């Protein structure tokens, strides 16, 4: 073996040894956010890869309670501002002096919408919760990709066989895999919609207006309560 050939072999081996692993981004076509792994690695160094932070996939929901002058005016204002935000009301229930509604608004306008709802009266409570679904989304994407590759291989195998028993078994396996693919794609769509739209539970309570006797009774009750409890 010549020295030149030996050198070529050594250089090639070193090149393969020095290649670091790269993590590819998960496809985000048709979804509102960059759906990808929480950390990917860049080949800046084959010994110590540099982590790169990426955007997380988070769902948000909120609850808000507001004391309003009249239920009728408050509900009209709610409908107008929800339509303006690009959202919609999914369910609502009205009572004599109470109103409750479930609405969905674009997640990017969640805080803006909550502020607008609060201005319909006096806000008595508000809460926002969120859930990180990044890992779940990325895992589903990987499973879908692997299942599609397996399904396509089974289809190629089906085209090459003429044995009836094998054809039946392969077709059964293809149907099973396709059902799993469709199920995972449905789950991905659900997660994408949950990220794009945030639900808000809205509760309106009409202010209590006391008459002359009511004010006296309420004042007496306040004085009596303070005799037993200061705070």
Separation of alpha carbons 111 and 142, rounded Å: 33
pTM: 0.62
- Model confidence at 227, in pLDDT bands (50, 70, 90)? low
Cβ atoms < 10 Å from Cβ of 92: 14
Q: Which residues contact 49 (CB under 8 A, 6 or more apart)?
A: 20, 21, 41, 42, 43
* pLDDT of res. 17: 41
Which residues are paired to 39 by β-bridges?
53
pLDDT tens-digit readout, 84-107 = 999 999 999 988 889 999 999 999
How remote is the C-alpha of 74 from its chain's centroid?
29
If you average pLDDT over every residue of the chain, what do you get? 78
Q: What are phi and psi of 115, to 5 degrees?
A: -65, -40
Core vs surface per residue 152-183: b (16+ CB within 10 A) or e? eebeeeeeeeeeeeeeeebeeebeebeeebee
- Nearest-5° Cα angle at 217, 216 to 219: 65
Q: Which residue has the tokens 């991905």?
A: 188
Would you say residue 230 has pLDDT above 90? no
**Domain layout of the chain by residue ranges:** 134-195
CA quadruple 158, 163, 166, 168: dihedral sign: positive
To which H or E segment does residue 34 belong? none
> Residue 231 above 70 pLDDT?
no
Say which residue the tokens 């006797």 belong to: 213
Contacts of 196 (CB under 8 A, 6+ apart): 31, 32, 106, 107
């Amino acid at each position: 073996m010549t020295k030149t050939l030996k050198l070529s072999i050594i250089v090639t081996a070193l090149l393969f040894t020095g290649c670091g692993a790269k993590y590819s981004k998960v496809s985000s076509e048709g979804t509102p956010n960059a759906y990808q792994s929480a950390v990917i690695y860049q080949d800046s160094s084959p010994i110590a890869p540099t982590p790169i932070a990426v955007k997380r996939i988070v769902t948000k929901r909120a609850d808000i309670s507001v004391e309003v002058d009249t239920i009728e005016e408050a509900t009209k204002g709610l409908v107008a501002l929800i339509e303006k935000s690009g959202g919609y009301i999914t369910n609502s229930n009205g009572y004599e002096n109470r109103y409750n509604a479930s609405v969905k608004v674009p997640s990017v306008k969640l805080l803006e919408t909550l502020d607008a709802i609060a201005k319909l009266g006096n806000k008595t409570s508000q809460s926002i919760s969120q859930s990180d679904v990044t890992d779940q989304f990325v895992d589903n994407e990987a499973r879908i990709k692997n299942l599609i590759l397996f399904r396509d291989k089974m289809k190629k195998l089906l085209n090459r066989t003429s044995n009836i028993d094998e054809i039946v078994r392969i077709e059964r396996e293809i149907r099973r895999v396709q059902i799993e693919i469709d199920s995972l794609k449905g789950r991905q769509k659900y997660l994408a919609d949950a990220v794009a739209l945030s639900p808000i539970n809205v509760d309106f309570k009409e202010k209590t207006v006391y008459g002359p006797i009511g004010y006296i009774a309420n004042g007496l009750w306040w004085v009596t309560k303070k005799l037993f409890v200061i705070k």
